[in-house]
Structure 1
Amino acid sequence: MTGQLQWIGNLITAVATISGVLIGQALARRTERTKARREDATRWLQDRREAYAEFLAAVWPMRGVSTYAGICELGDPHHPTIDQRRLDVATKHELIYLIAPADVIKQADRVRGALFELFEDSHSKFDAVGVIDPGTVTTGGHDNQWPLIEAVFEAAIAFREAARRDLGIEAEPAEAAEVTK
């Protein structure tokens, strides 16, 4: 009888040990998956934040290109050409499409559309390589362009607000939005 009790005791100990090891491994795996998901979410948040900032950073110089076209192109090696800047905006816009939710994409489309309207209004003639023909640029067109420039500002502010919401940042105070115009 004592041999039987000893055998049952050893069996219970073995089952408890194996169960403890299996439960420990399952919990460790679950903890590791949770940690990996949290790190992925943090990386995605960082990627979105960078994409949003880079998109806005690419948009602002384009507003200046459209407004001051006569002085910013014309072969200066220290300034990107208009085509390079347009490509930069387009590239950043496509990145938004890859990683942003629908409401942020909608606002990015609005910014790009407003920029395109401003740009097209400012530049109707290019030579074969995309350099502005200085004879087609008017220097007094800034007043006529103000509604288009205002549309770019408003679209950019709406994009920034959508991006902030996506990133979990509280709404921007109204005074700060006005200052950035």
Structure 2
Amino acid sequence: MQSGPWWGAALIAGISAFLGVLTAQAVAIRIERQRERRDDLKHWHKERLEIYSQFLAQVHLVIQSFMVDQAGETMINHELNKNRIALQTLFTQVRFMGSSDTINTATGIMNLVDQLIDAYNKGYGSGYGNKFTQLVAIEQRNRPQMLHFMDAFFQSAQREIYNPIR
């Protein structure tokens, strides 16, 4: 005795097999997407770490550009401009890759660097008796704020590296 059509069992088996294949494909796609996402995060973390460390190193170079021998004013200016351009390039990369906290602290650093560069450029040939001494005074006055921004940038970058943006 049969309680249903002869093809009913085959249809149910076929539908079950089809649903099994769909489920397996969905799981495989999800696993692959998670793997790609994890690989992307690793890649971006590595790039962020490089860019952030280069940014801080370049900030140090810009600041050190002010502290070259007084007799080499044109050399100071040349090094300063070259280092400022490299710093701006890294800042742009930070803005592309960073979190809002990291970008905000990097912006604070850039503002202070620009203040130093403005002070240097205003003193260049403008009647200040000894622009180097005045520049050192401005740098020393802004140093606590610069160190604060650099520390905040480091901490923000560290949080971002160890707690990825999702």
What TM-score, normalized to structure 2? 0.76
| Number of equivalenced pairs | 158
Measure, in 1, the Cα distance between the counterparts of 2:40 and 2:162. Answer: 16
User: 1:26 and 2:20 equivalent?
Assistant: no
* Shift in alpha-carbon separation, 1:67–1:152, aligned structure 2, 3 A: farther
Measure, in 2, the Cα distance between the counterparts of 1:125 and 1:59. Answer: 21
Gaps of 5+ in 1: 128-134, 170-181
Matched residue, 2:141: 147
- 1:67 alignment partner, SS class: coil
Measure, in 1, the Cα distance between the counterparts of 2:43 and 2:162. Answer: 14
Deviation at 1:28?
0.6
Any conservation in 2 of the 1:73–1:81 contact (CA below 8 Å)? no
Any conservation in 2 of the 1:55–1:89 contact (CA below 8 Å)? yes
Task: Tell me the C-alpha RMSD between the 2 structures.
Answer: 3.1
Deviations 1:94-116 (A, max 9, x none): 11111212111111011111122
- 1:17 alignment partner, SS class: helix
**Which has a greater percent of helix?**
2
Letter in 1 for 2:103: I
Measure, in 1, the Cα distance between the counterparts of 2:72 and 2:16. Answer: 77
Any conservation in 2 of the 1:114–1:155 contact (CA below 8 Å)? no
Matched residue, 1:112: 110
Measure, in 2, the Cα distance between the counterparts of 1:160 and 1:6. Answer: 72
What TM-score, normalized to structure 1? 0.71
Matched residue, 2:46: 46
Matched residue, 1:57: 57
Structure 1's consecutive aligned runs of 4 or more residues displaced over 6 angstroms after TM superposition are none
Gaps of 5+ in 2: none
